[in-house]
Amino acid sequence: MRGADPRIVLGLHRSRHERRLLTSALDLGVTALDTSTNYHAFRSHQVLAQTAGDLLPNFTISTKVGYFPGRDGADHSLNPARLRTAVKQAAADLGRSPDLVFLHNPEHSLREATVHGPAVLRQACIALYDATADGLCGAWGIASWDPAPLTNLVDVTCPKPSVLMIRAGLLVGGRTLVAAETLIKAWDLRGDSVWGMSPFGGSTDASVWDRVDPRVFLRDSNRLSRVQAAFRTTYHLPRVTSVAVGTDDPAHLSDLISALDGEVDEQAIREYRRLLRDRSGVSLPEAP
């Protein structure tokens, strides 16, 4: 698949990590997995290796570091030594080096911005940059649920991530969209360097999908369902080439793959961005 083509990454956030899902994904042509050290009660990597270790060489695997087991469930840390150790442990548990390691929600520890914020983010990024240079992973990136706190912390001394993953789609608010596009511009990221996540805001069963019809954003609107149309539109808000989506249902995954052939109406997207700007009071630039 060409780099400019829309691509699906199978996300394992709420997944049961069943082997049948991974075999079905491969049969459907989905060859990218995204997980995290804290998924599946901090056992995602081990369970993947145990249940489907023989299948993992067929996938590119991205994972995330930043959350650690804590007394009350999970602690977040940007300590460079802990991050490096987590990358090493991920490789050991998976039985192979991850192709991509994300710094997971750095804003969790940087939300209360201080004069030290840029230095803290920089040192965390350097830790993953060094881990990549040392062969502990293939590349590194940043996955951010709320990128707004990061926009004032990035400077020229901060290493540039290979990939930025942010929320995308029709349920992303104007503030988040502006922040994501600010980071994309600051790091001059294009093409395969920008991924989306959470295309349905958590669930395809949410009542919002009964109240709105995302097919208005497609030129061939009659061919796809509302859920399929919402998914296809996700690649344009903001503009991304890969979207991580979680499911345990191979049929749902197949439906989303079919949606990739839908043709998005760029003018409708521009109109929506104008409406979002007027409603939220934020300035939305032309899409990258």
Dihedral pair phi/psi, residue 140, rounded to 5°: -135, 160
State yes or no: pLDDT of 2 exceeds 50.
no
pLDDT per position as a tens digit, 88-107: 999 999 999 999 999 999 99
Higher pLDDT, 211 or 255: 255
Taking only the tens place, the pLDDT of each residue in 107-124 is: 999 976 677 899 999 999
Query: In whole angstroms, how far apart are CA 27 and each of 8, 19, 67, 251, 257?
Result: 14, 12, 32, 12, 12
Tell me the residue length of the chain: 288
The stretch 249-258 carries a mean pLDDT of: 95
How far is residue 179 CA from its own chain's centroid? 15
- According to the model, what pLDDT value does residue 71 have? 84
- DSSP bridge partners of 7: 242
pLDDT for residue 208? 76
Is it the case that residue 224 has pLDDT exceeding 50? Answer: yes
* Per-residue DSSP letter, 52: H
Q: What is the pLDDT of residue 155?
A: 87
What is the per-residue pLDDT for 104? 98
Percent of the chain past pLDDT 70, that is, above it, reads: 93
Model pLDDT, residue 204: 73
Q: What tokens appear for 229 in the block? A: 């149309």
Q: Is the dihedral of CA 171, 172, 175, 177 positive or negative?
A: negative
> Mean pLDDT across the chain, nearest whole number?
92
Position 286 scores a pLDDT of 60
Give the pLDDT confidence of 128-152 residue by residue, as tens digits.
999 999 999 999 999 999 999 999 9
pLDDT recorded at residue 209 = 75
- Say how many C-beta atoms besides its own lie within 10 A of residue 221's C-beta: 17
**Phi, psi (rounded to 5 degrees) for 237:** -135, 85
Band of pLDDT at residue 193, cut at 50, 70 and 90: very high
Q: What predicted TM-score, i.e. pTM, was given to this entire model?
A: 0.93
Contact 19, 49 (CB under 8 A): no
